Amino acid sequence: EEVSRQLETAEYEIGEIWSKPDLILPELVHMAAYKDNTLGNPLLCPADRLGSIDKRTVDAYRRAFFRPERLVVAFAGVEHQQAVKLAEQYFGDMKAEKLATTESASQKSPQPQQKSTLSSKIPFFKNLSTSASQSATVSPLDPSQIIPHPLDVPVDTSSPAHYTGGFLTLPNLPIPPNPALPRLSYIHLAFESLPINSDSIYALATLQTLLGGGGSFSAGGPGKGMYSRLYTNVLNQHGWVENCVAFNHAYTDSGIFGISAACATPYVNHMLQVMCLQLANLGKETGIGRLTEGEVKRAKNQLKSSLLMNLESRMVELEDLGRQVQVHGRKVPVKDMIARIDKVSIPELRHVARQVFGGMVKNPGGGSGAPTVVIQQGEEEGVTLQELKWDAIQGTIQKYGLGRQ
């Protein structure tokens, strides 16, 4: 009965998420970037599969993933001995189960991509491709293509994330019923980046802060990033851009870095070029668009300020403690993080930018170096939408020297 109630809630929430591009597109970026593996496995259950979930399924999931060797119990403001006592009281009866794996994640070689010959059966996606010559027209959310994992078979979580890159378009957004609402199209452009334990992770965080971004309307004020590149070079220069933000997702063995944007529908192709230019400029040594001492210093100060202000919250401090122990096996002192940010230099930023946006990142999963693009166009009165071709999009991206050539 409890599971049934939650399934009803889940069905409603899934529908809500699919109706909001700003919520669903980041999920689809991961699915396109890591097609059919690890980080690309959908977090959203297809609505048609909700009926197959019952108490037995939930129990099997809990047994597979909620095990002592996978758990971190974090406390803030609690004496150590009391924390140990509480952990033993509530988690002491859990038994570890060692998975029967024959090789570690670092030893595994990435699986080669295979061309799909299946025909499209889904309403969700218009196209899903992994390269110019390889395409898959079946969505990972298509219930007919999801093979349930046997409940009594251990789950192997040692496989490294294999970045594939890819292109995905969604059905057009209908014209909003309210004429006052803007008619917008959405685009995400991303590349494989560095894992959380990389020595260059602070340079990557500085690049994200330097790009910054936000919405076309902002109340301003100190610390809002109004001098970031995506504000000064994009939002303040192009009135047809509604939103433009840099994003960076770092994981234990991979990551993705890119720009998301919302713009007026007739300018989708122009928006892609603007995004490519901003990423390409980060690797320049000379000329207009190269990194300058002033903006790098500003970005580093803003990154340090954001870090310190967030850690003033006890809840953020608690979550940060748990995540760091889970990922690094220890708590990285704030002073060490600040010192690492201070050491970031312009040559290092240029090197990291060329590495990431040039498709030259070498992670355990052996990524393709290809770009990831996810687009959803919005219909507009009197505007005929053009079909977006992956070959043309790849050509635009390569023109700016982005992606593995």
- CATH class for the domain made up of 2-399: alpha beta
CA 291 – CA 281 distance, rounded (Å): 8
2-3-8-10 Cα dihedral, nearest 10 degrees: 120
**Count of CB atoms situated within 10 Å of the CB of 122:** 17
pLDDT at 97 over 60: yes
Cα–Cα distance for residue pair 350/370, rounded to 1 Å: 19
Return the minimum-mean-pLDDT range out of 113-127, 163-177, 300-314: 113-127
- With b for 16 or more beta-carbon neighbours within 10 A and e for fewer, the 64-100 pattern comes to beeeeeeeeebeeeeeeeeeeeeeeeeeeeeeeeeee
Q: What is the pLDDT of residue 137?
A: 33
Other residues' Cβ atoms within 10 Å of the Cβ of residue 395: 11
- Nearest alpha carbon to residue 49 among 139, 162, 157: 139
CB atoms within 10 A of CB 305: 13
**Mean pLDDT value across residues 250-257:** 97
In 3D, which of 284, 289, 260 has the Cα closest to residue 272?
A: 260
How does pLDDT run across 203-222, given as a tens digit for each residue?
A: 999 999 999 999 877 655 55
If one compares 176 and 210, the residue with the highest pLDDT of the two is 210
> What pLDDT shows up at residue 148?
66
- The answer to which of 148-162, 204-218, 236-250, 307-321 has the lowest mean pLDDT is 148-162
Is residue 188's pLDDT more than 60? yes
Q: What tens digit of pLDDT does each residue of 220-230 get? A: 555 556 789 99
Indicate the helix (H) or strand (E) that contains 397: helix 390-399
More confident residue, 157 or 326: 326
Task: Please state the separation of Cα 146 from the chain's center in Å.
Answer: 22
Structure confidence at residue 156 (pLDDT): 78
Convert the pLDDT of each residue in 329-374 to its tens digit: 999 999 999 999 999 999 999 999 999 999 999 999 999 999 999 9
> pLDDT at residue 261 above 90?
yes
pLDDT category of residue 297 using cuts at 50, 70 and 90: very high
- Looking at residue 63, its pLDDT comes to 86
Look-up of token digits 């996978």: 70
Is residue 179 exposed (0-12), middle (13-18) or buried (19+ Cβ within 10 Å)?
A: exposed
**In angstroms, rounded to a whole number, what is the distance separating the alpha carbons of residues 111 and 250?**
22
Q: Please give the pLDDT value at position 225.
A: 62
Phi-psi region of 220 (alpha: psi -120 to 50; beta: other; left: phi over 0): left
With a cut of 60, say whether residue 118 has pLDDT above it.
no
